[in-house]
Amino acid sequence: MAGKFKPKLTFRMRLRNKLSLLGLFLVTVNAVFSGEPSTATNIPTNVVIEEPEFTEVIENITAAAGRNVKFACSVKNLGSYKVAWMHFEQSAILTVHNHVITRNPRISVTHDKHRTWFLHISNVQDEDKGRYMCQINTVTAKTQFGFLHVVVPPNIDDSLSSSDVIIREGSNETLNCRATGSPHPSVKWRRDDNSKITINKTLTVTEWEGENLELTKISRLDMGAYLCIASNGVPPAVSKRIKVSVDFPPMLLIPHQLVGAPLAYSVTLECFTEAHPSSLNYWTREDGQMIHESRKYHTENIIGSPAYKTHMRLVISNIQQNDYGTYKCVAKNPRGETDGTIRLYTTAPPTTSPKPTTTDPPSRNKDGWANGDLNNSVYGNQTSLNMHLADKGSKYQSNLNEIDKSEQKSSSENDSKGVIYDWPASDDSSAQTIKISTLWVPILIIFLYQR
């Protein structure tokens, strides 16, 4: 029973055994690679041999992932001793003398005439970080360390981060953004359009720091793209764009619910809608009949900013009596439906006409005033008032011609046939006026003679 007893080894004893095994391994490797005995038994006893020593410390290295690095271990009096490189945290022997022991293809070793031994690590990865030990296989092994610090640019893990979301207005939502890198990156949130982020009713910020962004009672004003930006001082910084869509039923705003227009004129009815997702917008009459595009009706849906706003317009041309009445603008989306009513009623036409479109004075001809002088330029409809004035002008010109042909007409006849009209003078009318004034001379003489 006593032979089966195995006392527990202390940590110090295990470490001593581990170093002893390591020293034995290096001595064995030395003998294998050199083909010489591991002890210097063939050296005369009266010759003093200087043991190898390190001449410089190993510099620590900080490198970004993907770069190539090399450690330098400088020694003197190496003689027949060997230099080995180890990764201390991984307890892995990398190289011994000119030979690579590890199976890692990114590791290699070179030397400068046995004075400086270089450990090369290509395409550095995060797992390569840690302490690297350079060791000389003397009886009591001599070692020194260099530290490799690997920095990794930030990266956002899509599998652990939020993607585009669609939520109902008034709900709560938390956006997540998980980033990795070395050192560990910080995460900040911003809105893509640089507007403020509404955290709650009492807190709005332009920027929020943290992997989680909690939004409470979201409204349509919170709709848009949010950016999570991860940075750790190692370029480049990275960002992820998360689109937040807020669904709500349609709403309507009608600026004018009563609209008046004269017969034969045109009029525009307007409604403003807000809806998400985008609503189906159309117009109907009071009987529910949908209005379609035609020569009389023209409809427009103008997308506003933000995109959930729409401006609805209905243009009614050449209004007739049966066009008066009630019109409805209707908006539907998967979240609901709404409509608004506009009443179109008749009004008197305007009392004044627009100015002529040309600067030349109007000319009279056998067809009356030049076409378009009193025409309504907006609606393109000539009123009855215009035609009436043209008829009067034609009639007045014929009266002047009759007076010119007959001088026996009485003054009362002349007074009743256009002399009282005060029309604009022209070359023809001024000549007629001179002829009319000469008729009064004989009439006045006859009148005085009779008295």
CA atoms within 13 A on the CB side of 340: 21
Alpha helices (runs of H) in 238-363, residue ranges in sequence order:
none
Query: Both tokens of residue 92?
Result: 């892995």
| Contact of 166 with 247, CB cutoff 8 Å | yes
d(CA 242, CA 262): 53
Distances 52 to 21, 48, 117, 216 between C-alpha atoms, Å: 21, 13, 13, 70
DSSP tag of 290: B
Q: What is the pLDDT of residue 22?
A: 54
Query: Both tokens of residue 173?
Result: 């939502």
What is the three-class DSSP state of 432? Answer: helix
Q: What is the pLDDT of residue 4?
A: 41
**Tokens 């995060």 found at:** 126
d(CA 180, CA 231): 10
> Over its length of 451 residues, how does the chain's per-residue pLDDT go in tens digits?
444 434 444 445 454 545 444 554 454 445 444 444 344 445 455 556 788 999 999 999 999 999 999 999 999 999 999 999 999 999 999 999 999 999 999 999 999 989 999 999 999 999 999 999 999 999 999 999 999 999 999 999 999 999 999 999 999 999 999 999 999 999 999 999 999 999 988 999 999 999 999 999 999 999 999 999 999 999 999 999 999 999 999 999 999 999 999 999 999 999 999 999 999 999 999 999 999 999 999 999 999 999 999 999 999 999 999 999 999 999 999 999 999 999 999 999 888 655 544 434 333 333 333 333 323 323 333 332 222 333 333 333 333 333 343 333 333 343 433 333 333 333 443 333 334 444 555 555 665 555 5
Q: What is the CA radius of gyration of the chain?
A: 51
Which H or E run contains 447?
A: helix 427-450
Write the burial class of residue 83 (CB in 10 Å: 0-12 exposed, 13-18 middle, 19+ buried). Answer: buried
| Contact of 336 with 329, CB cutoff 8 Å | no
Q: What is the pLDDT of residue 449?
A: 56
Q: What is the pLDDT of residue 308?
A: 95
What is the three-class DSSP state of 298? Answer: strand
d(CA 403, CA 199): 91
Mind spelling out the 3-state secondary structure of 3-52? Answer: HHCCCCCCHHHHHHHHHHHHHHHHHHHHHHHHCCCCCCCCCCCCCCCCCC
| Contact of 138 with 81, CB cutoff 8 Å | yes
Q: What is the pLDDT of residue 99?
A: 95
Alpha helices (runs of H) in 356-426, residue ranges in sequence order:
384-405, 411-414
Q: Any idea how long the chain is?
A: 451
Residues 6+ apart with CB under 8 A from 133: 85, 86, 87, 88, 143, 144, 145
Q: What is the pLDDT of residue 140?
A: 92
| Contact of 197 with 206, CB cutoff 8 Å | yes
Peptide bond into 277 cis (omega under 30): yes
